[in-house]
Chain A
Amino acid sequence: MERKKHFMDTSESVCSETIYNKVYNEHSKSVWRFIYFKCGDSARADDLVQDAFIKLWQNCAKVPVEKARSYLYTLVNNAFLNEIAHHKVVLKHRETVTGNTDNQNPQYLLEEKQFKEKLENAIANLSEAQRTAFLLNRIEGKKYREIAEILGISVKAVEKRMSQALANLRKEIENI
């Protein structure tokens, strides 16, 4: 009985408003970030995410709950691919408010600040493919397998993109 109920739940459609809301709460942020890593335009990312969720609602009968996440990623990705204009990806470091900042010497802090600035620029200059994979891993903390799934590529390809991204970042940061 319990198993059956579980089975029923997973195959339930997104047409139920509670389920739709749940899907939104679970995935909207990561989908938004994913598309932001690609396009670097938060307004555009808003639009793409909104459109994707609207499409999900309209096609709710065809999309089972367990497929909703990849459906959303596919929708925003396709929409993104249709876009021509790309923006510079702007990422900012969190203001690290840690108690021990006073203990560090000013020289170190300055160097650290410069390093972070360089890193931000270097990431913005990465190719879209490398940046998306790299940021999904670094910021979103996604495993290679998950990234491979989202981007529709192999784990090996994710590994390659990560290596390339790191190599490019290092080159750019140390050259400047």
Chain B
Amino acid sequence: MKQDYLLHKWLNGEILTEAEMLQLKASPEFASYLKISDASATLTPPTFNQEANFKAIKNKLATKKHIPVKKLNPLTTFLKIVAVLAVLFVGYKYINSLNTTVKTEVAQTKNIQLPDESEVLVNAKSTLAFNKKTWDKKRELSLEGEAYFKVTRGKKFRVKTALGEVAVLGTQFNVYARDKKFTVVCYEGLVQVTLPDTIIKVPAGNNLRVENNKIISFKPTQIQAPLWVVQKESHFENAPLRDVIKELERQYPITVSTKSNRILDKRFTGSFTHKNLETALKTICKPLQLKFTISDNQVSIYAK
């Protein structure tokens, strides 16, 4: 134990006395420990190249510095996000702005249910467009041709045509907008018709006719609902045959020719059915003292 203590004391660099040294060497075991320890102290590890390693460290640090650290620029990142959102927003708006378009062909009527349960009956050869998505905010549609509206109560309901705009709150009315002829008949409630230069309020049971932006007539009518809706008839009051024929061509897949242009100015009051071409032609021609022939889709009308 004493020798052990002395050995460690000596290994730990403390100076031993002569006597202590002798005591250690007395044991062959400890003598050999001393020899081993002394010999080990003269060992050398391979040389450490301090300078070369320092250079290597500096190089590594330098190259690490040169690796460009891509800094995320918070502004550009933000702008990218904004750009994506903007594109999405515009796209969404665009899709939203796409209108639902209803188009009817000759001899075809369509009953359209609008998003708020308002109904539109679109007459033949007409185009109606509205936006389903924005309907709750804006009850607005555009019309080219003729349509009958049953509007449920709610926000202002607008029908835009090239010839004027009809605005209502909740009512039933018919809009006719073809060839510079604009006719609004109100059957229930009150409609407001905006023309390029005036605004006219049309109460229930009144018929407003506008031609070439001029009011031709604004008078009460007895009809409860448009004939083309109720009885499948087209109705005319003191209309030139020219217009009647055009309507006929819209309701039947035919082309009408007349032998002389003079008869086109004849005035017609009455209605024709949409169900039978021959009956319709008879109701038109008889009071005007005209005759007609039908061959395939060609109808010829001529004076007696």
Contacts and interface: CB of A to CB of B under 8 A. Distances in A.
A74 interface: no
A54 B63 CA distance: 12
A45 to B, nearest CB: 7
A137 B41 CA distance: 8
Contact of B48 (A45, A54, A134, A144): A45
Q: Give the size category of A's interface with B.
A: 35 or more
Contact of A144 (B4, B8, B36, B53): B8
Interface string B22-56: 00000001001101110111111110111001101
A63 interface: no
A115 to B, nearest CB: 7
A53 B50 contact: no
Nearest to A49: B53
A4 to B, nearest CB: 32
Interface in A95-154: 96, 115-116, 119-120, 123, 134-135, 137-139, 141, 143-144
Interface in B132-172: none
A115 B42 CA distance: 13
Interface stretch (A64-72, A76-84, A165-173): A165-173
Contacts, number: 105
Chain A interface SS verdict (over half)? helix
B74 interface: no
A3 interface: no
Contacts of A49: 48, 53
Interface in A33-48: 33, 36-37, 42, 45-46
Contacts of B50: 24-25, 28-29
Nearest to A120: B43
B13 interface: yes
Interface residues of B, number: 30
Nearest to A24: B54
B44 A166 contact: no
A137 B38 CA distance: 11
B12 A92 contact: no
B303 interface: no
A139 B43 contact: yes
A54 B44 CA distance: 27
A10 interface: no
B40 A123 contact: yes
A90 B43 CA distance: 10
Given A91-B45, A138-B43, 7 more contacts: A42-B45, A54-B61, A90-B46, A92-B46, A93-B43, A119-B39, A138-B37
What are the 10 closest A-B residue pairs judged by CB atoms, nearest first? Answer: A138-B40, A32-B48, A91-B43, A42-B46, A166-B33, A138-B41, A53-B57, A50-B57, A169-B36, A170-B32
